[in-house]
Amino acid sequence: SQQGEEDPQALSIQEGENATMNCSYKTSINNLQWYRQNSGRGLVHLILIRSNEREKHSGRLRVTLDTSKKSSSLLITASRAADTASYFCATGSGGSNYKLTFGKGTLLTVNP
């Protein structure tokens, strides 16, 4: 079953604009991760935020986490055509049986 649900399903913007993607989940988590997938390729890890953190930055990426609302957002600033990809949130939960559960993803298209 899918834990995270991304919103929107698809997003189209112009180069230089900011892109915001949201993720909601249902159960308690250890952490939440965002991955990027270019067409026909494997997933690449972008950023991880732990359940006791509220915000994290990495280059042009900013992730927030609100555990009370069970939601997260990924902001990509000053987008580039190369950012065109599918973005997935994945919730990490469990102890010794830790595993990731992925959402359906947001397809981001950045037009040059």
Partner 1 sequence: EAGVAQSPRYKIIEKRQSVAFWCNPISGHATLYWYQQILGQGPKLLIQFQNNGVVDDSQLPKDRFSAERLKGVDSTLKIQPAKLEDSAVYLCASNQRSGSGADTQYFGPGTRLTVL
Nearest approach in angstroms of CB 48 to partner 1 is 6
For 16, half-sphere exposure in the C-beta direction (CA atoms, 13 angstrom radius) is 1
Between the two ends of the chain, the Cα-to-Cα distance in Å is: 36
Residue 99 interacting with partner 1 (CB under 8 A): yes
Nearer residue to partner 1 within complex by CB, 107 or 110: 107
Q: How many residues bind partner 1 (CB under 8 A)?
A: 28
Beta strands per DSSP E along 1-112: 5-7, 10-14, 19-24, 31-37, 43-50, 55-58, 61-66, 71-76, 85-93, 99-102, 106-111
Nearest approach in angstroms of CB 103 to partner 1 is 5
Of 16, 44, 54, 81, the residue at the interface with partner 1 (CB under 8 A) is 44
Nearer residue to partner 1 within complex by CB, 44 or 82: 44
Residue 10 interacting with partner 1 (CB under 8 A): no
Residue 25 interacting with partner 1 (CB under 8 A): no
Q: How far apart are CA 79 and CA 99, in angstroms?
A: 31
